[in-house]
Structure 1
């Protein structure tokens, strides 16, 4: 059995398809077919009705409910007005509703209140769209009063929080001061690491860690740990920028650490660093101090020292000197070398081991250049004076043996009308021969080639009175 509504649906369907025009048998078959299709048609119709009803009803969770389901424009206006009346910044807003379109007018204190009013009105059920005609109130008294009120509220909150701020600040200071006391125990850090520079670095690190812990504890007590994260993040970015700006300083600092760990020289060593020659006074955390051979103080940045080629004369006291002497091209160079070596070996300051040597350095058009090598002990002999005395001794020995030392050859052209000053030339030659004879008859003096210890004594005196830091340590390895 089908109800009245189902019969009407079947009747209308059969009428549309020309039910009355068919014969009896066709009508019976067609009726049975339609009876079978009625339930599915009715189910589809019910689903369509339910869908349209669901679409027409507003979702309760996405909007503000009204008193009745069928909302009129007057109800929407009253609902929006009642909501705005509860908000101080929106009391001057007027709402007019027509066919679900809400028009807002009036003034509000700030631009954010304009957006806020529009968002509230759009959430009311039944609103199709919102026309926002609100304007900001630019009157001085209207804007000044809220600002002063907010400032007063902030000051009152700050005064209420002063005791807590004082406690947090005191806690941070106590933790930081404890770290400062711990870092001041230099003996403790010297026991941990024998290097003075590294000990100071560890002490500074301990002091910094305790300061950070104090700041974190104070902010935790105030409940402002999020501020610490923002500060640390900004400090990280700032640190990268500062790092690029002071990379030379950082490079010098790291070089000082490496030099203190692996020392390339000792105090009072005679060194040459980047062409700067002198004796080492001390090594600080910033520079290496030298006393030059002129007696002047020279500061070289440690970054330069760490990268430089360093020549240390003190590490090996035996040092070789050399000099060149020329003889006539007609003389025997081998005999000249033997004569010169014999003269050098007679000098007390020239070492027997390693022994002195000589080579033929160059053969020119009018002379043969002989190069002599000799060794001295820098602890007893001054290098420059020893070389000078050895050169003089070899030169005298060659001249006494009949070797002619080459002289410059000049080509002269004379004017026939200008007489030569023969008398003056002869007198000059006679004076030269007289001086040479006087020098040869004079008693020879033994050369004094002892080492000059004046600069070394200056360095020792300065180190004895030294009050500044010194990273040079004889117990550290030397390269």
Structure 2
């Protein structure tokens, strides 16, 4: 007979039996046999009940090791439980769980052969462990098959959704509190941005710098509110991840959008230093035009030809900037040649008189007429004069001054000969002798009336040159009528 471990109840029963046998005398062998059977049945019932109440074990990690199954510590020669009883008990337990489909158990000399179907591998392992712990079981051969799920089986997905829905219902009060606190955080962030922008706009001329500072102050407020929202929702680990990953995300974004960040920082420096203002005529990176706007990415120029040119802020900050409007007075010059037989001082005085009488040429700084060089057939003079470019057009004034200087030289009889040229006659120069009877043509004499300039020629500007005012107004009108190639807040607006 297999030895069965005694429980406290069995000890009490045997103690009472021993006491009774001592008090009443010796019992018969039939009484002793009956009592032993009762004790064994009680012990078997308690063992099976303990195995049934034990929860299924966790799924062990799948292993590819092909080790031999463990052998029992001891095999009883005369088992107490019959094979049929073990089969019946195991089948009932497997059916009671509801995990197995058509479970079967065949026992032969204490060796249990399990068969059937199950959905998961952990349930299959649980059945083997259950059979191995059953009384008088020597070994277990687990033939239960794990059913392969169809690719269209969405039961797991529906189960996850159901669990997620149940969890959301349970956490709905926390979610409502988190949403309310998120709304409060958004309102507090906006209020902080507006308050800080109002304070800094009074002390800073740069609109962009004020916006950047106000948003920099509002960012910690938003992060703190987001952390509290996640904390109230039970996502403390996610909250710490968000706060810890902010710096890393900023670093990654900085590398990915390096050019954008460079232009943005350049726009801040440009708005602080202000090397130009709206409407200035500037030249940057080989492009000349009137400045229309500056945003966080680029500056917009309207060229003198009426074209839009966008120049990145980083390029503007690095390149040489020529501002033609910073000083309203701009100096211009042109060259004019007179004959060697003409008086240089007379020609200088005439050209200087033309500049002094012209309304678009400023008196201070003074104009100059200097001898520049001695050419092959002319004495070259360089005429310097200043024009108020804020009021007058440089092209028109220069054209009018050259025209009037040439007209004054013609009236004064100052010649402006062409450059000497060398003419080669490969077949020789034909010479014809004039006889006494041949009539010599008289030279053509231009009447003085024809040398007198007309009123339009003597005017500071004629019909071809038009109005001498600056073309900045015309460019501005063209810019208003044209479509802006890029939207964005103008950083140079006060």
Which shifted more, 238-247 or 381-390?
Answer: 238-247
Q: 1:168/1:95 Cα in 2 relative to 1: closer, same or farther (>3 Å)?
A: farther
Q: Supply the distance in 2 between the matched residues of 1:155 and 1:174 (Cα, whole angstroms).
A: 26
The Cα shift of 1:340 comes to 4.2
Quote the offset at 1:159 in angstroms: 1.9
Q: CA offsets per residue over residues 344-367 of structure 1, 9 Å max, x none?
A: 32121264645525354574xx44
Deviation at 1:244, TM superposition (A): 5.0
Q: Of residues 400, 405, 419 in structure 1, which corresponds to 2:418?
A: 405
Query: Residues of 1 paired with 2:149 and 2:400: CA distance?
Result: 102
Q: What's the CA shift string for 1:352-402, capped at 9, x where partnerless?
A: 645525354574xx4457251413141565433333344345545666234
1:182, distance to aligned residue in structure 2 (A):
2.8
CA distance in 1, matches of 2:372, 2:257: 55
Q: 1:117 to 1:453 in 2, by over 3 A?
A: farther
Counterparts of 1:112 and 1:332 in 2: how far apart (Å)?
A: 119
Structure 1 gaps of 5+ residues are 1-68, 123-129, 415-428, 475-479
Partner of 1:343: 350
Which residue of structure 2 aligns with residue 455 of structure 1? 472
Q: Does 1:264 align with 2:255?
A: no
1:244-259 matches, cutoff 5 A: 244=255, 246-259=257-270
Offset, 1:307: 3.1
What TM-score results when the alignment is normalised by the length of structure 1? 0.57
Q: Number of residues paired by the alignment?
A: 372
Checking the alignment, whether the CA contact within 8 Å between 1:172 and 1:218 is kept in structure 2 is yes
Q: Residue by residue, what CA displacement relative to the aligned partner does 1:211-236 show, whole Å, maximum 9, x if unpaired?
A: 33333222111211223455667787
**Following the alignment from structure 1 to structure 2, what is the Cα–Cα distance between the partners of residues 105 and 234?**
53
Quote the Cα distance in structure 2 between the aligned partners of 1:470 and 1:458. Answer: 18
SS at match of 1:266: coil
Q: Aligned partners of 1:115 and 1:354: how far apart in 2?
A: 107
Distance 1:239 1:375, change over 3 A: same
Q: What does residue 215 of structure 2 align with?
A: 204
Shift of 1:290: 4.2
SS at match of 1:184: helix
In 1, distance between residues paired with 2:202 and 2:127? Answer: 71
> Is 1:136 the counterpart of 2:146 in the alignment?
yes
Residues 89 and 108 in structure 1, CA contact (< 8 A), matched pair in contact too? yes
Q: Is the 8 A contact 1:259 1:306 kept in 2?
A: yes
Q: In 1, are the aligned partners of 2:117 and 2:145 still within 8 Å (CA)?
A: yes
Partner of 1:219: 230
Verify the 8 A CA contact 1:281 1:289 in the aligned structure 2.
Answer: yes
* Larger CA deviation: 272-281 vs 220-229: 272-281
CA contact (8 A) 1:104 1:133 kept: yes
Give secondary structure in 2 for the equivalent of 1:406. coil
Q: 1:115 to 1:436 in 2, by over 3 A?
A: farther
Normalising to structure 2: TM-score of the pair? Answer: 0.56
Give the direction of change, closer, same or farther, for the CA distance of 1:438–1:103 in structure 2 (3 Å limit).
Answer: farther
Once residues 278 and 175 of structure 2 are traced to their aligned partners in structure 1, the CA distance between those partners, rounded to angstroms, is 54
Partner of 1:167, secondary structure, is helix
CA distance in 1, matches of 2:185, 2:285: 47
Query: How does 1:178-197 map onto structure 2 within 5 Å?
Result: 178-185=188-195, 186-191=197-202, 193-197=204-208
Matches within 5 A, 1:77-116: 108-110=118-120
Residues 291 and 302 of structure 2 are in contact (CA less than 8 Å); yes or no, is this contact kept in structure 1? Answer: yes
User: Which position in structure 2 is the counterpart of 1:174?
Assistant: 184
The separation in 1 between residues aligned to 2:156 and 2:261, in whole angstroms, is 52
Q: Distance in 2 between matches of 1:228 and 1:131?
A: 50
SS in 1 for 2:458: coil
Contact 1:327–1:405 (Cα < 8 Å) also in 2:
no
Compute the displacement of 1:262 (Å): 0.7
Residue aligning to 1:158? 168
Partners of 1:404 and 1:362 lie apart in 2 by 13
Q: Following the alignment from structure 1 to structure 2, what is the Cα–Cα distance between the partners of residues 436 and 281?
A: 53
> How far apart are residue 180 of structure 1 and its match?
1.5
